[in-house]
Amino acid sequence: MFIDSSQPIPLDDHLCFSLYATSRAIQKLYHDGLSEHDLTYPQYLVLVSLYQYDEVSVKRLGELLSLDSGTLTPLLKRLEREGLLVRNRSKKDERVVKVHLTTEGRNKRQEINDLPETLVEKSGFTKDEWDTLENLSKKLFNNITTK
């Protein structure tokens, strides 16, 4: 075990706080670039996912983004009102709603393509350090979310 549970852990030694603070800092870094395009961070993630997967069900999109339908549906409605995506019921199963980007949505995704590069540059990490961080982060997420 890495942690001595006989003593309270100082705030700076809490991994959960470090990850939380880092996540907020990344979102703040992205905020300026996103606000120029009238997007929030969650909306950005929707555009990124739909650009990558082309057309997905709302359920699958929620799984990809770790968002429940109560959070995801308002995001999708706003992006649809802005002409960035389209939601359609599946012809095979009307209970399934499919989502895909419009041409305008694809263009908007291209406009904000440099945001991850900004983060990589600011990190000061080497490629190996970046890859290690990404792999460990994914492993941690999978380990704590797998039942």
pLDDT per residue as tens digits for the range 16-72: 999 999 999 998 999 988 999 999 999 999 999 999 998 999 999 999 999 998 999
Q: The domain spanning residue 38 has which CATH number?
A: 1.10.10.10
Q: Mean pLDDT across the stretch 109-132?
A: 93
Question: Do the domain assignments include residue 138?
Answer: no
Question: Do the domain assignments include residue 21?
Answer: no
Question: Do the domain assignments include residue 91?
Answer: yes
Q: Which of 45, 37, 46 is nearest to 100 (CA)?
A: 46
What pLDDT does residue 1 have? 52
Question: Do the domain assignments include residue 40?
Answer: yes
Question: Do the domain assignments include residue 140?
Answer: no
Question: Do the domain assignments include residue 19?
Answer: no
Domain of residue 57: give its range: 28-113
The residue with greater pLDDT, 92 or 83, is 83
Number of domains forming the structure of the chain: 1
Q: pTM value?
A: 0.83
Question: Do the domain assignments include residue 122?
Answer: no
Question: Do the domain assignments include residue 141?
Answer: no
